[in-house]
């Protein structure tokens, strides 16, 4: 089934506006995506009709709120093919999910001599939490390098074999890089981690709302993603954890909702997932996430990812003809996820982004929360165009036309 | 909506293309750096004092056209000024980039008035100036490599 992507724009109210006198061309989707009407309505409906605290009240509204929140959990489990809804912990987003694993599993299991393996292409959210916990436990943090002057070779898979020693207790890696647009062979990486007895943690922030994500097929131990990067509200995220692991982990925050019994001297905890959800959870946005998942599945994820990837390849090929351009990640003509990250020799990224904004084209300029990699590649700042289901080939043309204009303006032809 | 030519004045484009006093100043006795962590811009300013006045200024670093042109132009504005005079020049510059006002006397810094319509870029324009004022507050000493 091929979906018609040309008319999805109308589902997103925010896209119906002009910026700089031009129709908005939103190409900053790797930072955050927009929300369809159905998600906005689901959140509004919750506040208008059902708003209440969960797991506490016996009144009608509290029961409805609890049912809505738990239905969102079950729907999320189905979305990533988790075996059990109890394997879904709601968090604020990918960063909090990774921090949860680091602070709970890491603090309980890491010791001096142990190694946490990560990769050079990680977003700060899957890098800094490991720096914090290795510093605290005395474990060592190592990185799998990327290959090529423009990281066009992706992850160095031979180095993975060399670095995955028995001392490695945890291997954390991204599914799709937010900086390079490369897709890592996550199933293979999980199998390699398992072979040395290491726990695997996948950052799925750039993949969950785009590609099929099947945690059982991947064979991962943990997987983290954010709602706001997949058409859901901000402030709701997911940590998937294998049940056997979650049940052995200590709480990382204490408070209401996570306890079984509290005495003045000590307390006992509920099982997962409640153990990891201290305090009143973000009920409304979990319900928004449910609506977003329904929306994405109505479009269909294999087609959605293919559509974005096609636009990114189209942009990559057209941009590669511009003078003095340097494109990161896969070479033009090669497969890439739905983004393209580039820099011009003669015009700084911030000047480009300001200029494009005047044409109504929203881009990201900067280090993309990946400072060490940018430093390694010798780039202080780059420009990223990232696509989602509502983007079209016309958006690619607008991007390329705007880039041509700025190069001309700065005399960089 | 402001036109981009208001932001990217000819003076700014010229300073960006051919920056003045770029590079390390071997005779410098004061140095300070600044950066914008969100965008990755950085700037180091070198000062050589001549008595109570600024004898020579240079800068190093990377950033957008606004930040580079501002640093370049700043080096031409500070020579011969006392620290107090440098501070009042920065105050005037800051006023221009935040309000779009005009300088009291004719000055190339007027070229930066267009920045006020682009609030996200004000920190680009002031980066080098903050580094220069930091450097001015330091005691004189030889610059380490």
Structural domain boundaries, residue A397: 300-409
- Chains A, B: CB contacts under 8 A, how many? 51
| Of A349, A354, A366, Cβ closest to residue B121 | A354
d(CA A145, CA A202): 17
Whether B142 is in a domain gets the answer: no
Is the Cβ pair B118, A354 closer than 8 Å?
yes
- Helix/strand/coil for A327: strand
Q: Same domain, yes or no, for A212 and A357?
A: no
Whether A47 is in a domain gets the answer: yes
A119, A153 Cβ separation under 8 angstroms: no
Whether A35 is in a domain gets the answer: no
pLDDT value at residue A319: 98
Q: What is the mean pLDDT of residues B76-100?
A: 95
Total number of domains in chain A: 2
Decide which of A297, A328, A344 is a domain's last residue: A297
Q: Same domain, yes or no, for A330 and A374?
A: yes
pLDDT value at residue A293: 98
Length of chain B, in residues: 145
pLDDT value at residue B145: 56
| Percent of chain A's residues with pLDDT above 70 | 99
Burial class (CB in 10 A: 0-12, 13-18, 19+), A411: exposed
Q: What is the mean pLDDT of residues B65-83?
A: 95
- How many helices (H) and strands (E) in chain A? 14, 19
Total number of domains in chain B: 1
Q: Does B61 touch chain A (CB under 8 A)?
A: no
pTM for the model: 0.92
pLDDT value at residue B144: 66
Whether B143 is in a domain gets the answer: no
Q: Same domain, yes or no, for A318 and A293?
A: no
Distance from CA of B1 to the nearest CA of A (A): 6
| pLDDT tens profile A26-57 | 999 999 999 999 999 999 999 999 999 998 77
Q: Same domain, yes or no, for A88 and A220?
A: yes
Give bridge partners of residue A267 from the DSSP assignment: A262
Q: Same domain, yes or no, for A178 and A141?
A: yes
pLDDT value at residue A347: 93
Is the Cβ pair A380, B63 closer than 8 Å?
yes
Q: What is the mean pLDDT of residues B33-45?
A: 87
Q: What is the mean pLDDT of residues B128-132?
A: 96
Q: Same domain, yes or no, for A391 and A350?
A: yes
Which residues of A carry out catalysis? 369
Read off the tokens for A349: 């990224």
| pLDDT tens profile A137-182 | 999 999 999 999 999 999 999 999 999 999 999 999 999 999 999 9
Whether A20 is in a domain gets the answer: no
Q: Same domain, yes or no, for A54 and A99?
A: yes
Q: Same domain, yes or no, for A244 and A318?
A: no
State the CATH number of the domain containing residue B125. Answer: 3.90.1010.10
Q: Same domain, yes or no, for A89 and A176?
A: yes
Using the 8-state DSSP alphabet, how is residue A338 labeled? S
Residue A144 belongs to what H/E stretch? strand A140-144
Whether B130 is in a domain gets the answer: yes
pLDDT value at residue A254: 93
Residue A330 has pLDDT above 80, yes or no: yes
d(CA A361, CA A26): 6
Residue A1 has pLDDT above 60, yes or no: no
Q: Same domain, yes or no, for A188 and A127?
A: yes
ipTM more than 0.85? no
Residue A2 has pLDDT above 80, yes or no: no
Q: Which of residues 109-128 of B touch A (CB under 8 A)?
A: 118, 120-121, 124
Is the Cβ pair A351, B64 closer than 8 Å?
yes
Q: Mean pLDDT over all residues of chain A? A: 95
Whether A25 is in a domain gets the answer: no
Decide which of A237, A262, A297 is a domain's last residue: A297
Whether A22 is in a domain gets the answer: no
pLDDT value at residue A170: 98
* pLDDT class of B1 with cuts at 50, 70, 90: very low
Q: Same domain, yes or no, for A128 and A91?
A: yes
Q: What is the separation of C-alpha A79 from the centre of its chain, rounded to a whole number of angstroms?
A: 15
Q: Same domain, yes or no, for A140 and A245?
A: yes
Neighbouring residues of B84: CB distance < 8 A, sequence distance ≥ 6 = none
State the CATH number of the domain containing residue A371. Answer: 3.90.1150.10
* pLDDT class of A105 with cuts at 50, 70, 90: very high
pLDDT value at residue A56: 75
Decide which of A275, A297, A319 is a domain's last residue: A297
Handedness of CA A216, A219, A223, A226 (dihedral sign): negative
């Amino acid at each position: 089934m091929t979906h018609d992507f040309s008319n999805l724009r109308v589902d997103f109210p925010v896209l119906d506006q002009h910026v700089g006198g031009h129709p908005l061309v939103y190409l900053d989707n790797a930072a955050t995506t927009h929300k369809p009407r159905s998600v906005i309505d689901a959140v509004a409906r919750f506040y208008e009709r059902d708003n209440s605290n969960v797991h506490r009240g016996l009144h009608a509204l509290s029961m409805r709120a609890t049912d809505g929140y738990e239905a969102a959990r079950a729907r999320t489990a189905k979305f990533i093919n988790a075996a059990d809804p109890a394997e879904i912990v709601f968090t604020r987003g990918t960063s909090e999910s990774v921090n949860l694993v680091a602070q709970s599993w890491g603090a309980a299991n890491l010791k001096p001599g142990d190694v946490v393996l990560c990769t050079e292409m990680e977003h700060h959210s899957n890098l800094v939490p490991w720096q914090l916990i290795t510093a605290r436990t005395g474990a060592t943090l190592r990185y799998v390098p990327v290959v090529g002057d423009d990281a066009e070779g992706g992850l160095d898979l031979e180095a993975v074999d060399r670095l995955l020693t028995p001392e490695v207790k945890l291997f954390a890696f991204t599914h799709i890089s937010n900086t390079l647009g490369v897709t890592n062979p996550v199933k293979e990486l999980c199998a390699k981690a398992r072979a040395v007895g290491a726990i695997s943690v996948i950052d799925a922030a750039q993949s969950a709302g785009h590609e099929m994500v099947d945690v059982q097929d991947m064979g991962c131990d943990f997987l983290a993603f954010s709602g706001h990067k997949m058409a859901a509200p901000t402030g709701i995220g997911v940590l998937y954890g294998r049940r056997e692991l979650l049940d052995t982990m200590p709480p990382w925050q204490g408070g209401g909702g996570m306890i079984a019994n509290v005495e003045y001297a000590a307390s006992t905890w509920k099982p997962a997932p409640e153990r990891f959800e201290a305090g009143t959870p973000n009920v409304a946005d979990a319900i928004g996430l449910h609506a977003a998942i329904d929306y994405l599945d109505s479009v269909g994820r294999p087609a959605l990812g293919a559509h974005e990837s096609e636009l990114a390849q189209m942009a990559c090929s057209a941009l590669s003809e511009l003078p003095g351009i340097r494109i990161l990640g896969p070479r033009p003509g090669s497969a890439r996820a739905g983004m393209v990250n580039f820099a011009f020799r003669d015009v700084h990224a911030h000047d480009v982004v300001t200029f494009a904004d005047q044409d109504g084209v929203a881009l990201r300029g900067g280090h993309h929360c990946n400072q060490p990699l940018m430093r390694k590649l010798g780039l202080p700042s780059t420009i990223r165009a990232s696509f989602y289901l509502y983007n079209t080939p016309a958006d690619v043309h607008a991007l390329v036309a705007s880039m041509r204009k700025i190069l001309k303006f700065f005399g960089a032809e | 909506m402001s036109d981009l030519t208001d932001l990217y004045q000819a003076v700014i484009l010229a300073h960006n293309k051919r920056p003045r006093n770029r590079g390390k100043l071997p005779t410098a006795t004061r140095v300070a750096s600044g950066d914008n962590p969100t965008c990755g811009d950085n700037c180091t300013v070198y000062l050589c004092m001549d008595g109570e006045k600024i004898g020579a200024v240079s800068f190093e670093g990377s950033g957008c056209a606004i930040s580079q042109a501002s640093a370049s132009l700043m080096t031409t504005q500070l020579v011969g000024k006392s620290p107090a005079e440098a501070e009042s020049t920065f105050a005037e510059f800051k006023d221009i980039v935040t309000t779009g006002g005009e300088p009291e006397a004719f000055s190339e810094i007027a070229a930066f008035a267009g920045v006020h319509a682009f609030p996200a870029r004000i920190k680009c324009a002031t980066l080098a100036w903050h580094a220069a004022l930091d450097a001015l507050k330091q005691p004189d000493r030889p610059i380490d490599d």
